[in-house]
Structure 1
């Protein structure tokens, strides 16, 4: 992989600034350029954009203060800085003349080895490249990030005829491993792959909405999770993207295509509702009004007829919700044959997606795989159009689509391509096979492109029908039961994969984890805890504990908590390095499991925290003990004699159930340490964790020695308690919150002892268990637990 030491981003608008933010999230030095300000400091435009990053939601920065790591620059004074950059990403407004003018200005200053890429959503990359000096053309291509760049997995790379394949490969590697993205290579056609198919689908959806007279909120309910797409559905997604952005992408289709180049061109007219909202200045989330508007706590939807907002909340008819849970073949048959408008609407938008993707596959993408992954990663779909079509029965669905085309019910009269009905695809029953995915240009199934960095993806995301290794059966199984699988890929490192629902920690799972340590110490060099898919673990299985509590009483809870604590200490003091590979949520007991490991390897989008307060409890499996021990370790590295300042942040995080909303924020909270690894690409997590375990073993790793450590004692507790009284009396926390936080303070300060008293982990864990068991018997805590189990939402009482 080409080493990218520094990146320049040209343009400090919404996308440029957020691309810069994602780069610094992943420790890539970045210089952000824009025009010199007409008044005040010349870098004023950029510094304001950087400052604004701290306010955006969802947050583009893992840690808001990292905005300071973005270097501000302007085109008048700082072009020499381009010579220090290995990658230059242009991200100015979507105006070809502006882009070409900027290239002429910066070209003389770009380093001879640097790659130059335009972040455009659909303008011709080839036309841009032709305006560059000859020396730059081989190092130029398109790079299309999706908004918001931190969270959206898709990045499309678009070569020109002059692009050096080695340059595109180097950029592919960097974007994959360095930025954690799913890369799809697209052909240089208007709007490339995802926006070409996705926006055409959105326009088609609007036409079908008008045809069937459905409200926007009902459509969003139908086209969200029920349909296997992003939970925001169609119109909430449009509001998030921005209706001006949507309109621009639509104009790109309108301006660069015609009826001869796209038989669906007639359906690309700007919908009336979009015209009206743009005229009103309602651009979606950025203007707080679009298809939806929030008024106080109430959500309103736009009504075109009255040009006003009315209460939202409409839902799909339950009969269609049930249909959408059926197997694919049955589901599509029921929708096609349904008589109600909602069912006919759903069949229509699915039919349109199959039709459009098939007609345009050869012109926009190399293979059907690229289309399906682009729609998954760029539009939040669980399946791309070809995957769903293939799962439902290729030839049967094709026949249905062709019948609708013949009857004039489709968006275009263009027939499905011949390869749909004849030859290898028809014989294989679809476009995805173990051999590869269909390329209509070459007329064969082609395996996915392999780059060396992809060898790090041991179990990469695949499309339906593609040959793929399943981590649930891969390697050699050492032990497996209902709670976990112990297995190995290389006979060197043991892997423990949790199998419980949401990977909750039960007594049976604790037994399995202790067995994992015993086995690893006996037969392997290290242990990796990796749950395979999200979440890492949502914590203790409260539901499993309730029957024992009802039958035996609090003694059963105390035994279960004690066993969990023993398990955490077994992991901490294991004779081999234990590495937790975290992806998604590591909450409560999941967080405790992680912090008691020798090292943590976390995907960037990991959410880590001790959240037990939400159900009226305290962390009971060593979480509070970890906070107290960690404070003592931090103090020992300084000359400070007062322990309390080092304890305050950990106490506050537990008492307020703070969750790190990224691996970077989790590090600030103390749940990840400085030597823990943040992995940009989720599919590289297991590889990196295994390599870390091997490196630790190779370096002669030994478990920490058991040693007592000082606590803040009763004087520290009194200080914290005084702050809690102020919060309670000021109405900021409830009486029960005050009680829980007081118990947390009692544990982390070591109980009724003098400041500086040396204690052991086992001593503090005893205090944890007592506090946990006291709360389990409290009526208000029981109300909180039952509310969470029944509604999934916390109760504040």
Structure 2
């Protein structure tokens, strides 16, 4: 960010903020993964740690960087990105801090250690850099005292949640001296460049998400013991059935680390002595005993659960031994949890006499009660608290959302009744704002005017930072005004075609699918064709994209199977041909068609996206041709694309370059049903091209895609001209077959996998033709159709399709 003319950064001059380099100090679990996610976003990063006592002084950092390649879930979009992280140590490389616009401290949660480090770093930090601590709960104000006065206004807390790549939440915690403009700049960077959901938190112990979330865990401990429920039953009740993370409560504790959980609890115990819920801030005896034994959860192989082979055992606290887990959920309680009306659901839990239902009501009531009592202490608005729980703990709705959706007045009365009856975890009354005044009259904390600010006693609107204007269709909380008011151009049971409201481009048509998992049914295919026709007639460009994930899970097997059963391959052939015609129509449309890809783009979804003029992909895009998994070959142009793209790459490289060198990655990716682990990985495979933008924030996807499409149109874009291209022919088939034989002999693929993969190899090489023979797309598409329809008649393929439709999982036969 240094200016060659003045030596000043754009931050200090008040110019446009371009954060060009980050320093992360601390190469532990969090620090290394924060550095990894910066690299994912293309932000240069220097990772610091202590100098090793012997040998290479960067050994500690280099070990941490190497470890990033092995972690699961992967912190890197592609393993080779680790090589772009610059290793450094405090003894030799502090001068590198002068190049960094943001310095993030991410060492262990020890106030004295952090202060010592700040004293060491401060002289080397550029006076206009932003400085932040990734503390999970220490006082940011106290930490700032270790910095010179001229840096304190540039300091704040920036709490990433683990793992940083996948967890949306980042808490931004200012001190009384933090310059507001720098907070805005940092929030903008975190939201747009790193793809995060940012909330502003008060400088109180454990901030917002951990404060509410860990109290919720303690409530579950208490209520589970009260109602005599086992760990696996509790996890089944407090998982997806309750709109929370699949792992429930005790499994989540194991994943987080029982020592980490205990640390947060002790922080609350020590730093909140006057809290009306202070009696609850104790490490439960069972948790303390596990920690004492070194059973810290997943990282040590045992905690509340232990895995033995394929069996999952759970701790029996009475015998202190591990026993088989058996999550026996009452059918009546399961039916209540399946109820879609939130008011009816909560009333049924409240009124039920069953212990499992009473447990759930108690847990929800405790979260409502605690959140209301502490809202003014920890956050500016109810919106910040609800988003913290959604983004930081994976809850489908925050506590205030659930309360409001279930009926604010009724729930408030039930809470007051339980307080009066001594059933709650504290006798603290609900705050006045919850039972009278504007919130009571509005019947909730979230309204079209904004969310309740208990300090200012008003409904406060959403952030007006310009970065949020880029978020199209971002979800809104219960009670808030929808974020998008599109103009519907046409709509049927399968698709919706619409345009964005001003000030977004009005002359870009957007097509979204309405099918489950956005599958490509025959009606969707017809909708795509209609949208292309309409875009060519009346608009400048077309974007194909969804407001929710995935982009598309592929062809609609449920729609295709009955057609096959009634009429055989001849009946399916027109459907297959229509899919192929659709992708060609997209490829040769007279306006640019841009795919806005997020989440899964599998099978036909991948084939549709690769035939678009451009793709704009969210970083978390999982793209692949997966048809081999159900015993088929890609039949809507996927192999045609691979063959043509390999020929294009060969032509760009050198006339005498071997075609198979470029074809192999496409062929093996399809033959093994490889799915990209990120958008960067998809670019490495070839499903995304170097010119395809990668967006870090999911909610900016349509904003960017619409502008890319409009720019292409206004810069004179023309569709490609149909052309012949060389194929690898029978020699290529033989080479690929040899690799497939090795994979079969090695046990990596089954006998039938080999047969299907050989069909993939045959098609992508252009069939039984001479190496280098020139073919066109029609030739390749015919080979695809023939192979697809042939495999559809095979019993093992039919077994795979039936198994997938029944269980959602591939069948290995």
Please state which band the TM-score falls in when normalised by the shorter chain: over 0.9
Q: Which residue of 2 aligns with 1:363?
A: 377
Task: Tell me what 1:301 maps to.
Answer: 314
Which residue number in structure 2 is paired with residue 450 of structure 1?
Answer: 464
Write the distance in 2 (CA, Å) between the matches of 1:745 and 1:19: 41
User: Cα offset for 1:722?
Assistant: 2.1
The 2-side partners of 1:169 and 1:638 are apart by 45
Alignment partners' CA distance in 2, 1:501 and 1:646: 35
Match of 1:349 in 2: 363
Give the aligned length. 792
Deviation at 1:178, TM superposition (A): 0.7
The residue aligned with 2:190 is: 175
Query: CA separation in 1, counterparts of 2:224 and 2:464?
Result: 41
**2:334 counterpart of 1:317:** no
> What secondary structure, in the 3-state scheme, does the structure 2 residue paired with 1:324 have?
helix
Of 700, 715, 726, the residue aligned with 1:684 is 700
CA–CA distance in structure 1, aligned partners of residues 441 and 492 of structure 2:
40
Match of 2:808 among 783, 788, 792: 792
The TM-score normalised by the length of structure 2 is 0.96
Is 1:554 equivalent to 2:569 in the alignment?
yes
Aligned counterpart, 1:564: 579
Residue 449 (structure 2) pairs with residue 438 (structure 1): no
Could you give the per-residue CA deviations for residues 746-776 of structure 1, whole angstroms, max 9, x where no partner exists?
A: 1001001000000001110100000000011
Question: 3-state DSSP class of the match of 1:675?
Answer: coil
User: Shift in Å at residue 550 of structure 1?
Assistant: 2.1
Question: 2-side partners of 1:315 and 1:631: how far apart?
Answer: 54
1:483 aligns with 2:497: no
SS in 2 for 1:660: coil
Q: CA–CA distance in 2 between the matches of 1:63 and 1:641?
A: 26
* d(CA) in 2 for partners of 1:686, 1:451: 19
1:284 — aligned with what? 297
Structure-1 residue corresponding to 2:667: 651
Over residues 235-278 of structure 1, what are the superposed CA-to-partner deviations in whole Å (9 max), with x where a residue is unaligned? 111111111211111111111111x2x10010111011110111
Displacement of 1:727: 3.0
Which residue, out of 354, 379, 389, partners 1:340?
354
**Map of 2:387 onto structure 1:** 373
In 2: Cα distance, 1:630 partner to 1:285 partner: 44
Shift of 1:502: 1.2
User: Comparing 327-336 with 570-579, which one deviates more in the overlay?
Assistant: 327-336
| Per-residue deviation, 1:367 | 0.5
Q: What is the aligned partner in structure 2 of residue 382 from structure 1?
A: 396
Instruction: Tell me, in whole angstroms, the C-alpha distance in 2 between the residues paired with 1:562 and 1:145.
Output: 49
**C-alpha distance in 1 between matches for 2:418 and 2:302:** 37
Whether the 8 Å contact between 2:19 and 2:101 is mirrored in structure 1 is yes
**Which residue is 2:479 aligned to?**
465
Q: Check if 1:418 corresponds to 2:418.
A: no
Partner of 2:612: 597
Check the 8 A contact 1:2/1:171 in 2, yes or no. Answer: no
Counterpart check, 1:137 vs 2:152: yes
Quote the offset at 1:589 in angstroms. 0.2
Question: How big is the shift at 1:305?
Answer: 2.0
Residue 113 in structure 1 maps to residue 114 in structure 2: no
Contact 1:2-1:173 at 8 Å conserved across structures: no
Match runs of 1:686-725 below 5 Å: 686-725=702-741
Q: CA deviation at 1:735?
A: 2.1
Q: 1:729 to 1:141 in 2, by over 3 A?
A: closer
Contact 2:475 2:483 in 1 (8 A): no
Q: 1:730 to 1:175 in 2, by over 3 A?
A: closer
Quote the residue 2:141 is aligned against: 126
Q: Indicate the residue corresponding to 1:68 in structure 2.
A: 83
> Deviation at 1:222?
0.4
Match of 1:224 among 218, 239, 250: 239
In structure 2, the residue matched to 1:606 is: 621
Determine helix, strand or coil for the equivalent of 2:246. coil
Matches of 1:514 and 1:83, distance apart in 2: 55
From the superposition, tell whether residues 32 and 315 of structure 1 become closer, same or farther in structure 2 (CA, over 3 Å): farther
- Distance in 1 of aligned mates of 2:524 and 2:472: 25
Contact 1:302/1:309 (<8 A) preserved: yes
Contact map agreement 1:46 1:73 (CA 8 A) in 2: yes
Q: Deviations over 1:285-311 (max 9, x none)?
A: 222222212111111112222222211
CA RMSD of aligned residues (A): 1.1
Residue 114 (structure 1) shift: 0.5
List gaps (5 residues or longer) in structure 1: none
**Do 1:713 and 1:754's aligned partners in 2 also have CA atoms closer than 8 Å?**
yes
Q: Could you give the per-residue CA deviations for residues 142-196 of structure 1, whole angstroms, max 9, x where no partner exists? A: 0000000000000000000000000111101000101000000000000011000
Q: Would you say 1:733 and 2:749 are equivalent positions? A: yes
Mapped partners of 2:722, 2:746: distance in 1: 42
**Aligned with 1:523 (options 528, 538, 545):** 538
Residue 35 in structure 1 maps to residue 50 in structure 2: yes
Structure 1 residue 744, shift from structure 2 partner: 0.5
Report the TM-score when normalising by structure 1.
0.98
Instruction: Give the Cα–Cα distance (whole angstroms) in 2 for the partners of residues 657 and 312 of structure 1.
Output: 34
Q: Which secondary structure state, in structure 2, belongs to the residue aligned with residue 180 of structure 1? A: coil
The verdict on how the C-alpha distance between 1:701 and 1:313 changes in structure 2, with shifts beyond 3 A counting, is farther
User: Is the aligned partner of 1:80 residue 2:95?
Assistant: yes
Alpha carbons of 1:359 and 1:730: their partners in 2 closer, same or farther (altered >3 Å)? closer
1:79, 1:14 → 2: CA distance?
A: 22
Is the Cα contact below 8 Å between 2:550 and 2:601 reproduced in 1? Answer: yes
Q: 1:199 and 1:730, CA in 2 relative to 1: closer, same or farther beyond 3 A? A: closer
Q: Distance in 1 between matches of 2:746 and 2:363?
A: 54
- Give how far 1:461 is off: 2.4
* Partners of 2:260 and 2:233 in 1: CA distance: 24
Residue in structure 2 matching 1:669, options 677, 682, 685: 685
3-state DSSP class of the match of 1:720?
helix
Work out the CA distance in 2 between the residues paired with 1:729 and 1:21: 37
2:201 corresponds to 1:186? yes
User: In 1, are the aligned partners of 2:541 and 2:591 still within 8 Å (CA)?
Assistant: yes
Question: For the residues of structure 2 that align with 1:333 and 1:543, how far apart are their CA atoms?
Answer: 37
Superimposed CA distance per residue, residues 682-732 of structure 1 (whole angstroms, 9 cap, x where no aligned partner): 110000000100111122111111111000001111111122233334443
Q: What corresponds to 1:765 in structure 2?
A: 781
Residue pair 2:476, 2:483 contacting (<8 A) in 1 also: no
CA distance in 1 between counterparts of 2:303 and 2:35 reads: 27
CA–CA distance in 2 between the matches of 1:732 and 1:351?
51
Contact kept in structure 2, 1:154 and 1:182, CA below 8 Å: yes
**Matching residue of 1:266:** 279
Aligned to 2:4: none
Q: CA separation in 2, counterparts of 1:772 and 1:196? A: 55
2:344 counterpart SS class: helix
For the pair 1:779 / 2:795, whether they are aligned, the reply is yes
Q: What are structure 2's unaligned runs of at least 5 residues?
A: 1-15
Match of 1:211 among 216, 220, 226: 226
Q: Distance in 2 between matches of 1:44 and 1:104?
A: 23
Distance of 1:33 and 1:788 partners within structure 2: 47
Q: Is the 8 A contact 1:219 1:316 kept in 2?
A: no
| Partner of residue 588, structure 2 | 573
What's 2:9 paired with?
none
